[in-house]
Amino acid sequence: MKSLWSLKGKRVLITGGTKGIGEAVAEQFLNFGAEVLIIARDQDRIREKLDDAKQFKLPLYGLAADISSSDERKLIQLKVKQLWDGHLDILVNNVGMNIRKPTEKYLDIEFDRIMQTNLLGLFDLTRQLFPFLRKEEGFSSIVNVSSVAGLTHLRTGSVYAMSKAAINQFTKNIAVEWAPENIRCNAVAPWYIDTPLANQVLKDPDYLEEVLERTPAGRIGTPEEVAATIAFLCMPASYYITGQTIAIDGGFTVNGF
C-alpha cells in the first residue's frame, strides 16, 4: 500500500527558502524524502545551505533570485526546466515582506514594493510554473504562505494585509480553475512565528505581552509547526483538501472577548 505520509521523490520549489519558515519547510521536505530547490536573494546564504546539505548527501539545490523581478522569475522557470526537465510536484510560495506603519503614512513606492513581492511575484511565478505542475496522474500541490493579517484586522500594515487577503482568494480560484489539471492549491495563515521578521517587533516586551494575551495557546509559534502543516498539505494524506486557508495561530483568529 502506498504511504499516505511520504514525499519521497517529489520535486519541490520553495521561495524564501533560506531562513525562517522557508528554511524549516525545506528541512521538513528533505526529511520526507523530497528533492528541494530553494530560491532566495542572498547567494551566500544559499551557498551555506547547499554546503550543509552536501555533507549529508541531501538533494538540495539553490538559485539566487528576487521574486519581485520579472526577469528573475523567468530565471526560476528556466532553472526548473534544467534541473527537473520541466517537471514540478510542489510549489511553496513563501517569500514575503512587510512595512509596518499607519495607512495614511504609506508612500506609493512602499505600496508597490510590498505588492510586487507578496502578490505580483507570487501570481506571476505560479502561472509561469503551471505547465510544470499539471499532471495526468496523481496530484501536484501549491501551498501559499499567507497570514492571519489576511483574515482579520491587525494594528498596522494594511497594505501587507491587502496582499495576504488577495493571496487567500487567489488560492480559492486556482484550486477550482486548475483542479482539472490535477493541481491542488491551499494556503496557510500563520500568526506570530519565531522568525527574524517577527522578532523585530516581538522584542518589545509590552507588545509581546499583548500578543500572548490575545493568543489562547499562550505562546509564539515555531517555524517547524508551520512547516509540518505545509508538508501535510502536500502529502497523499491530504489529497481531498484544496482551496483552503488554514490558520496556524494558536487560536488567535477565533479569540473573542
pLDDT of residue 205: 95
Query: CA angle, 12 as apex, 126 and 3 as ends, to 5°?
Result: 125
pLDDT of residue 196: 85
Q: Are 184 and 140 in contact (CB under 8 A)?
A: yes
Annotation marks residue 160 as catalytic: yes
- Whole-structure pTM over 0.95, yes or no? yes
Choosing from 61, 160, 207, 240, which is the catalytic residue?
160
Exposure string of 176-208, with b = 16+ CB inside 10 Å and e = fewer, is eebeeebbbbbbbbbbbbbbeebeeebeeeeee
Q: Does the pLDDT of residue 17 top 70, yes or no?
A: yes
Reported as a single tens digit per residue, the pLDDT across 210-241 is: 999 999 999 999 999 999 999 999 999 999 99
Quick one: what percent of the chain has pLDDT higher than 90?
A: 95
In order of 144, 175, 235, 243, the CA distances from 180 in angstroms are 20, 9, 19, 14
| Coil vs helix vs strand at 114 | helix
Q: Does the pLDDT of residue 40 top 90, yes or no?
A: yes
Q: Are 36 and 12 in contact (CB under 8 A)?
A: yes
Q: Which residues contact 225 (CB under 8 A, 6 or more apart)?
A: 193, 248
Residue 152: pLDDT band with limits 50, 70, 90: very high
Q: Does the pLDDT of residue 155 top 90, yes or no?
A: no
Backbone angle region of 253, left / alpha / beta, with phi > 0 → left and psi within -120 to 50 → alpha: alpha
pLDDT of residue 257: 67
Q: Does the pLDDT of residue 2 top 80, yes or no?
A: no
Residue 1: pLDDT band with limits 50, 70, 90: low
Cα 115 off chain centre by: 15
Q: Are 122 and 171 in contact (CB under 8 A)?
A: no
Output the average pLDDT for the chain.
Answer: 96
Please name the residue that has the C-alpha cell 533560506. 18
In order of 70, 115, 203, the CA distances from 233 in angstroms are 28, 26, 32
